[in-house]
Amino acid sequence: MSPYKTFEEYNLEVTTEVKESYSKIITELGEDVSREGLLKTPERAAKAMLFLTQGYKQDAVEIIESAMFSEAYDDMVIIKDIELYSLCEHHMLPFFGKAHVAYIPDGQIVGLSKIPRVVDVFARRLQVQERLTHDILECINTTLKPKGVAVVIEAAHMCMMMRGVQKQNSVTTTSGFRGQFEKIETRNEFLKLIGSHLS
């Protein structure tokens, strides 16, 4: 299956079982699934869930390998402020925020758009932020084989904001570093650059 399937193509994969499951859930919550406002809700919810979990049917390695190029450039490449939206695997509630990714090439670079695509592949699965950070980091590290990789994710979690402790302004930050980014000076350069506002 192509890693670039569109939302419309995914709509075709909505199954009767998923729609029926949502219908049962709505009924169990005490609602009337046959009333006008809810008639199409099970189908819409099924389509939304398939879209939000499409990462299971995509291959992040294939995405990187589709746009790798030989290049002598060996300084830091940073793609920051990559929007991400995922679902917490514990409550299936959204968490969302930004990913910052950097790598130092070792003879190979990758098309810039492929890094956000890799973020999306892993974000569009049931996740915890810690594993999401690790998945992105290891995929780039093992596929591109750069001199170093760094990933920082900052996200707000609806499971903390809407339920449980109900803390509205908390942000969770996770990070991972490989290769040259394990050196404190390289890591600090990366952290300084993702925190700056370049004009």
Active-site positions? Answer: 88-91, 129, 157, 159
- How would you classify the pairing of strands 94-104 and 172-179? unpaired
Q: Quickly list DSSP for 79-145.
A: EEEEEEEEEETTT--EEEEEEEEEEE-SSEEE-TTHHHHHHHHHHSSEE-HHHHHHHHHHHHHHHH-
Q: From CA 177, how far away is CA 181, in angstroms rounded?
A: 5
Q: Are 31 and 38 in contact (CB under 8 A)?
A: yes
* Dihedral of alpha carbons 156, 157, 163, 166, sign: negative
C-alpha distance across the termini of the chain, in Å: 40
Q: Is there a contact between 10 and 54 (Cβ–Cβ < 8 Å)? A: yes
